[in-house]
Structure 1
């Protein structure tokens, strides 16, 4: 029987590193820590080996198609398939960033949405029947973060396609280029990208349902990482827990959902986020 394989993108530090650590402790198979910087990735692997954990490493830059294809071919040759794929790689500009809004929009959407999409398009053919995919989003990925009701209706449309969603994400970048994004899209490119991730998750679940593959999006909580200037109250291991729950413990009935940091399924379409959680102040 082929060895099981779990992959975590962008996992040399932060929540991704915590997810790899958790998988190494419990997943019955090969766990891949990946990073675009090989030296940092191998340093992260050494840290885990010092804890008597045994992750595998492969360089992977989700923003580069060639890197994704090289990784795909390697996994195909070595294992023949993927059992768990956790799309964690992402960027965020801080609130006090002086980068122009259009630069923030272009870079954030490119990495957080479009690169995640290309990662899935290239790796999904390797998903085994019954595989689990977890797309790491945020509480800012809740649909209520989009001010325009027209846009919200488009994003939650049960018949929305990947092409239509990608077009909406491009429309946001174009609106930002014209300085016309605030009224309809809000002030946060990070929020738009993570809303896009949840909308994509719902589409992917529809597409993969017949293969018994579970695709879910997760809000990991406000975690102390480089992305949050280490201001979050949660450790990376605590932030890893909801993704680990979806990868290892969630019932098969949880599919196409938006899962909160306490492992509960949240209504993504609700008019407000759950009240007991403060808004993540990344942006």
Structure 2
């Protein structure tokens, strides 16, 4: 079993995830795994980085597939014992011109962005080493005040909110989207936003969880907004490069910041998630 430090990035074959892997390979004193759903694309991304003189490793991973997550978890446990950095970057977004019914968009988006992130987190929490960093990739769309309803915001930001109840809220949103009354009920009209609000809330809950379960391990769980980046997801409309989009995640992964349960902006500033002051 390797005693080297280990970093894992989900959705690393392109875009921000690719840039995060690149940044880790340059600065992290340990092994870096680039993971992706598509094995061919993942290996091609690793080859690109090797051409730059970097040395990431690859493992196939589909965060929507419980078996895939379990297989990767067991591989990591057997070969490395634990994880020092886990960056849950994999995610999806429907295009504005998408013709799929909103209820379908809501269900599919929540499935990957929220439940996929939750699945990875729950699988790997027991493997997080002393001082580990768990980083949930959120968005400016994941700020609490993207949810119009004060009542829903209160539920989502409660210090008593559990993962079980957060998941129930995500299911409530999906039902409202399928019924067509999501705006009337205070959820707004963006499935992507609600999925990322769920991710941001999840990080806060998980920080409380690891503090209670592993009080001596000094694990940090934070969420971050990468900025509006030129990627396939943004149809390359974002003004930032993928390297600029990786800055906040790399800061949380590598800097001695001491942050726990926080929501970080693209410039690495701590933004109060429960106050309407995000620099949208």
Same fold (TM over 0.5): yes
> Is 1:270–2:275 an aligned residue pair?
yes
* 1:250 to partner: Cα distance: 4.0
* Match 2:193 to one of 181, 191, 194: 191
* Match 1:247 to one of 253, 274, 280: 253
* 1:229 to partner: Cα distance: 0.4
* 1:33 to partner: Cα distance: 0.2
What's the Cα RMSD here? Answer: 0.9
Aligned to 2:169: 168
Instruction: Give the count of matched residue pairs.
Output: 274
For the residues of structure 1 that align with 2:148 and 2:13, how far apart are their CA atoms?
35
* 1:96 to partner: Cα distance: 1.6
Task: For residue 246 of structure 2, give the secondary structure of its aligned residue in structure 1.
Answer: helix
Q: Deviations over 1:81-111 (max 9, x none)?
A: 0000000000001112111101100000000
Q: Extract structure 1 runs of 4+ deviating beyond 4 A.
A: none
Aligned to 1:97: 98
What TM-score results when the alignment is normalised by the length of structure 1?
Answer: 0.95
* Match 1:256 to one of 242, 252, 261: 261
For the residues of structure 1 that align with 2:257 and 2:147, how far apart are their CA atoms?
30
The aligned runs of 1:74-93 (5 Å cut-off) are 74-93=75-94
For the residues of structure 1 that align with 2:95 and 2:273, how far apart are their CA atoms?
24
* Match 1:235 to one of 227, 231, 241: 241
What TM-score results when the alignment is normalised by the length of structure 2?
Answer: 0.96
For the residues of structure 2 that align with 1:122 and 1:4, how far apart are their CA atoms?
18
* 1:14 to partner: Cα distance: 0.5
* 1:273 to partner: Cα distance: 2.3
Q: Deviations over 1:168-193 (max 9, x none)?
A: 00000011111110131000000000
For the residues of structure 2 that align with 1:32 and 1:2, how far apart are their CA atoms?
15
Structure 2 gaps, min length 5: none
* 1:124 to partner: Cα distance: 1.1
Aligned to 2:6: 5
For the residues of structure 2 that align with 1:33 and 1:48, how far apart are their CA atoms?
10
Aligned to 1:42: 43
Aligned to 1:63: 64
For the residues of structure 1 that align with 2:97 and 2:277, how far apart are their CA atoms?
26
Flag the 1:86–1:174 CA change in 2: closer, same or farther, 3 A.
Answer: same
* 1:272 to partner: Cα distance: 4.1
